[in-house]
Structure 1
């Protein structure tokens, strides 16, 4: 399955919107999760083939010629127009996905598989908490749009500076806290410190915490150690890790996730 670039738009200095369409999306299934993503395959400069390509054939190629898979959040899917919107984080010259998005022009093709996902705001929850950085903003935006009307929704979002803030639509009672890491020496606990100081509404909190690995781990510890959110109501996953490029992070992500999942917390002192 593949899409052809219809149009692109710069949302912020670190977020690029790419809208795909065309007959290659004929088999695309409507996403069932707020954090739905597609596995996209970005071609390296050494590639001597184009899109569409056969998976089995490219797996036999040398590493430098094989496509690089990356999970990209589905920002929107318009079935009637057969248009797929992807908001892609951009980090200068780092990352295949961001570089491709910046250079994308109408007619360019992107091959993918999916969609898949795992989280949707629980419609029976009493309130919602969505936490993350630029890499999680597309999913947070979908989450905010997916809550029942009138429910309390708190978003805590870390971005470089004010130029990276985006508008969020929400049928709930939305409160957004923007955190700027520009000039912060150690931003690892920036999100966690704010979450720890928050007062969450009573009842069941459906929480979504995604973004940089160490930062999401720190938030997870606060939420579970302080019994602010039940583990069954928490979706927490690292999209990337500071100090690691895409390939380095892919190599160690599984072990990291297992280590975090194994953490246990004693009940807070009464």
Structure 2
């Protein structure tokens, strides 16, 4: 599938919002998930295939061409009436593929993707919701909070680079949002886990949405399972990236990392 950039907005120094329309978005089927994601395909410079392409067809019919770079991005919002798709991109200067594309994107640019897919949506029967992550998890956290009924309770902790990197989140009684600001030192790796260890849990049993940097997610997951008495059925956990690796390096080892994380918890249980 593909959409066409209609507008762009610099939300924070490290996040760009792209709104897509047109293309074949009128055929888009959005899952009932607040962590719905697209598997974007970025055509490299010099490729001989058109800017609107099918990634599978390119793989089969253009084996000698540079293949598109694949990246996953969470859907921030979908307007099924206007057929407008909003995606927020975390950007880090000139590094990576998707960030520079989003920074340079202009109306009329084409965005190719497969999906969307997704698995998480806040459960109405949950006593309260625990939403944890960093900038990469913000689109899903924001969408999840917006889906909650007025009486729902949620605790949110988000790691970011500073006050100017915060984005508006629902502000009402029952939702406790805390921002954790990096200092640039090695202690940043422990910000999220330390904050969760210091939380006074609300009465009842939470469901945890824990997504973001790989080692931070592993530490938080271990704490929730071993120290807070939660089970795997009480958690949605996904490591989106790893601070010691490029996107491509992380894509190559993510499956093994997740398998090792699961095995570690099985041995410790």
**Per the shorter chain, which TM-score range?**
over 0.9
Written as runs of structure 1 = structure 2, the 5 A alignment for 1:210-249 is 210-249=211-250
Query: Does the CA-based 8 Å contact 1:37-1:116 persist in structure 2?
Result: yes
- Aligned counterpart, 2:194: 193
2: distance between equivalents of 1:36 and 1:161?
Answer: 27
CA contact (8 A) 2:55 2:68 kept: no
Deviations 1:178-202 (A, max 9, x none): 1111233232211001101101112
After TM superposition, the structure 1 = structure 2 runs for residues 1-270 of structure 1, keeping only pairs within 5 Å, are 1-60=1-60, 61=62, 65-169=66-170, 173-264=174-265
User: What is the deviation of 1:113?
Assistant: 1.1
Is this contact kept in 2: 1:153–1:172, CA < 8 A? no
- Kindly state the Cα deviation for residue 204 of structure 1 after the two structures are TM-superposed: 1.9
Between the aligned partners of 2:51 and 2:3, the Cα distance in structure 1 is 9
Work out the CA distance in 2 between the residues paired with 1:24 and 1:171: 37
Residue ranges of structure 1 left out of the alignment (5+ in a row): none
Which whole-Å deviations, capped at 9, do the CAs of 1:72-118 have from their partners, x for residues lacking one? Answer: 10100001100000011111111211111111100000111111011
8 A Cα contact 2:37 2:118, kept in partner: yes
Is the CA contact 1:145–1:171 (under 8 Å) kept in the aligned structure 2? no
Please give the per-residue CA displacement for 1:32-64, whole angstroms capped at 9, x wherever unaligned: 101000111011123233332133442144577
Kindly indicate whether the alpha-carbon contact (under 8 Å) linking 1:147 and 1:171 is maintained by their aligned counterparts in 2: no
Instruction: Give me the whole-angstrom Cα distance separating, in 2, the residues matched to 1:50 and 1:95.
Output: 22
Distance (whole Å) between structure 2 residues aligned to residue 85 and residue 91 of structure 1: 20
Following superposition, the deviation at residue 170 of structure 1 comes to: 5.8
Closer, same or farther in 2 for the Cα pair 1:266/1:206, shift >3 Å?
same
1:232 and 1:56 mapped to 2: Cα distance?
34
Gapped regions of structure 2 (runs ≥ 5): none
- Residue by residue over 1:149-183, the C-alpha shift from the partner in whole angstroms, topping out at 9 and shown as x without a partner, is 22221110000111101110266611111111123
Normalised by the length of structure 2, the TM-score is: 0.94
- TM-fit CA distance, 1:28: 0.2
Give the TM-score normalised by structure 1: 0.94
2:257 partner SS = helix
Q: What SS does the corresponding residue of 1:65 show, helix, strand or coil?
A: coil
Output the CA distance in 1 between the equivalents of 2:229 and 2:158.
Answer: 18
CA-atom RMSD in angstroms: 1.7
Instruction: Count matched residues.
Output: 267
Taking a change above 3 Å as real, the CA distance of residues 171 and 35 of structure 1, as seen in their structure-2 partners, is farther
